[in-house]
Structures are given as C-alpha cells and as structure tokens.
Structure 1
Amino acid sequence: MRLAIFGGTGQVGRQLVQQALDRKHKVTALVRDPARAPVHDRLRIVQGDVRDARAVQKTLTGSDAVLSALGQRRLRGVTVCTDGMRAILPAMQTHGVTRLLAVSGYGVADSRHHGVYVTSLWLMIRSIMRDKERMEELIKGSDTRWTIIRPAVLTSGPRTGGYRTGTGLHLAYGSKVSHADVADFMLSQLTCDDHVHQAVAIRS
C-alpha cells in the first residue's frame, strides 16, 4: 500500500515508518526536519508543517491510507493534533483517501472516567488531553473510515505482538505498551475492518 504518515519522527511515528517499510509498503512522511528521517528507496520525505495545507496535500498525493502519530511534549498551548487534523481531513477528501488511523490518548471522550489514572492525566497534561479530544471530535465527524488508537503508557520496549486491544479495555497506572506494538497494531488494521469507526484502547 501507499501510506501517508504524519508525526513520522516521533516515537510511534518512527516505528510506523520502519515497520511499514519492512512490510514492503511505500511511505510518504511529512517531517519538519528531514535529517531525523531514515533514507530508503520506498520512503518519500516531504519537508513542512502539518498545519500547512499545501504540505499536507503534497504528502497525501497518491496515498491509499493515512496514519497519524501527531503529538507534542510541551504541557501548555498544545493544538498540533487538532490543527493537523483540520488540514489532513480536507486533503483526504480532495484525494479520495478514506482510511484513517490516528493515535489519540486514553481518558478522552468516551474513555474519560473518574478513576485515579484518568483524573491524574487531566490534572497533569490537561492541554494535551484537550487537544486529543478535539482531534477525536473532528475525526468522528468526518466521512473517513477511521480508527482511533488510545494507548496505555508508552515505552521503548520491543515489538511483541502480545498486546491486548478493545473498545472497553480498561487502562490503569500499571498499564503499558511499547511504541513498536502500537505501530504494529495500526499497520495490522490497514487490511482489517474490525475496528472501523471505533476508538480502541491498547495495552501489553
């Protein structure tokens, strides 16, 4: 498949790019710093910002599916996921691309509950959680065949394939999952319709 990947130099994004190439997909990745991206004959790099509609359009040209691993480490004024999706969704419509897989966060939208773990997330990283929640609203209101992925605490562990997923899966403080396993699950959904129009939690 021909994949457009956003957030390709982040922890999950790097795994998405490498595993997609390992699976013989052709990848186009939008990155701000091309020096942080690998070199591969099936990888096309577009330099730019996800908020730039022209760069997003260029990234999506000729693609069969979109994978988003957008995110930001700062704790205040975070809008990259919302802003990015505002550019990505119209570009998908323009190019006739319907399949979308996006990393969000556990504890937003219908996964927000009053447990200690989720309450703590909203206290510590409220701006990030709001950004993810607004992104989900945009995705769910779109005409795409979307799947939202809500991971547990992310780690740098190896790809195991031994993770659990589910729309009602409960995550707590001890729940973890590797960046590599999140990428593995996302790529597995490219040829699977089991979770279309679902938000799925994932943990080891």
Structure 2
Amino acid sequence: MKIALFGATGRVGRSVLDKALASGHTVTVLVRTPEKLPVHDRLTVIQGDARDEQAIYQTISGMNVVFSALGTDKTTTLTESVPHMIQSMKTVGITRIVTIGTAGILESRIEPGKLRYESTESHRKLTFAAEEHHRVYDLLNESKLDWTIVCPTYLPDGDEQGNYRVERDYLPENGKQISVGDTGAFAFDELLACKHVCYRVGIAY
C-alpha cells in the first residue's frame, strides 16, 4: 500500500508512520522539518507547508490512501489544508482518507442534537480546536469520499495496550483517556480495514 501521510512529526502521526513502515508499506509525507524523521528506503519526505495546495497534491499523487494527523495548534492550518486534500484526492482518484479528530465532535449523550463540545458534557472552556475539527467533519461529510475520523479523548503519551473500546459517533461510556500508541494502532488498522467508513469513531479505555 502507498500511503500519503500528513502530520508525521506529531505524536499520533509518527506512531502511524512507524507502523506503516514496519508493516512494509510505502509512505510519502509532507513536513516542515524533515530532519525530525528517520531515513528509510520506503519513505519519501517532501518539505513544505500543509496549507500549500501544490505540496499537498505532490504528496498525494501516486498514493493509494491518505492519512492525516494534523492538529490545530491554535491555527487554521487544519481547515486550510483539508480542502486541498479533498480536491487532490478527487483529482487523482483516491477515495480513502482517515483523519485524527477530537472527542469534542462526537455526539452528546446528554444533550441529543448537540456535539460534545457544544454541550455540558464537555468541560473545556476553549472550543477553537473542536470548532476546527467540526469544520473538517463537515467538509469530509460533504466530500463523497470514504472517510473515517478517529476521535480520541484525553491523549497522554503511552504505548499500545490494546484494551481500548471504540464506538461509532459517540465516546465510549465513561471513557476518560486513550494512549497515543493505541490511537495510532487503531487509526492505522482502520485506514486499511475500512470498518467504519463515513463515521466518526470515539476511542477510549
């Protein structure tokens, strides 16, 4: 499999990159700082900005699937880049994309009709990141692509444990956290297995 990967120098993105290379796949990444990544014969590194339409097209061209672990970091990089990803995928004929979102864009259990970040279910006072991920959800939902958004809750560093729970469109009940390792493992498996196409997937222990 040939995988276009965005956000490869972040925590979940690096986890997915390592799993992809270890599993024998070919990966092309777009990063600002190539020196943060290993040298590997099945890894192509393109240096550039994730908001650059041409750089995104170059990264996606010739690939089979797309994975994005881009975050918000108090910027609009996420919502600037995803439209270019969608357009590039349609141009080259790729349909499968998995992204990392946030549990805030899952459905609220206590206020039906609202997302978690819009309801009292969320205790976060700052909603910028969730609003960015909400826009991405809307974009993908309208795209007609085979998308999945993996939505972790509190995300501490940690290796794979494997005893996590997942639920479509909702955070598993009483879910409090999920490690970077398990998030990366589930997201990578989902990229290839396509078990939750056109769903947000909550993941937690």
User: Structure 1 length as normaliser, TM-score?
Assistant: 0.90
Deviations 1:34-89 (A, max 9, x none): 11112111110011111101100110111110001001333xxx312111101100
Q: Is 1:98 matched with 2:95? A: yes
One-letter amino acid matched to 2:142: G
Q: Percent of aligned positions with the same letter in both sequences? A: 35
Give the counterpart letter for 2:196 in structure 1.
H
8 Å contact from structure 2 (residues 106, 171) kept in 1: no
> What is residue 55 of structure 1 aligned with on the other side?
55
Unaligned runs of 5+ residues in structure 1 are none
Q: Any idea what SS the aligned residue of 1:35 has?
A: helix
Which one-letter code corresponds to 2:91 in the other structure?
T
Equivalent positions of 1:19-168 (< 5 A) are: 19-74=19-74, 78-108=75-105, 110-111=107-108, 112-113=115-116, 114-116=119-121, 118=122, 120-121=123-124, 123-124=125-126, 126-167=127-168, 168=170
- In the alignment, residue 171 of structure 2 is paired with which amino acid? L
**Count of residue pairs brought into register by the alignment:** 196
Shift >4 Å, 4+ stretches: none
The change in CA–CA distance for 1:32 and 1:169 in structure 2 (over 3 A counts) is same
Do 1:152 and 1:171's aligned partners in 2 also have CA atoms closer than 8 Å?
no
Partners of 1:20 and 1:187 within 8 A in 2 = yes
Give me the TM-score of the superposition, normalised by structure 2: 0.90
Q: Which runs of 5+ in 2 are unaligned?
A: 109-114
Residues 162-202 of structure 1: per-residue CA shift (max 9 Å, x gap):
21111133465x61111111111111113323200111000
Residues 4-15 of structure 1 mapped to structure 2, 5 A cutoff: 4-15=4-15
Q: Provide Cα deviations, 1:124-152, integer angstroms capped at 9, x if missing partner.
A: 3x111111110111011102100111101
Structure 2 CA distance for aligned equivalents of residues 86 and 127 of structure 1: 18
Distance 2:27 2:78 in 1: 20
State the alpha-carbon separation in 1 of the partners of residues 67 and 140 from structure 2: 12
Distance across 1 between alignment mates of 2:13 and 2:73: 14
Does the CA-based 8 Å contact 1:5-1:29 persist in structure 2? yes
- By how many angstroms is 1:24 displaced? 0.8
* Distance of 1:2 and 1:161 partners within structure 2: 26
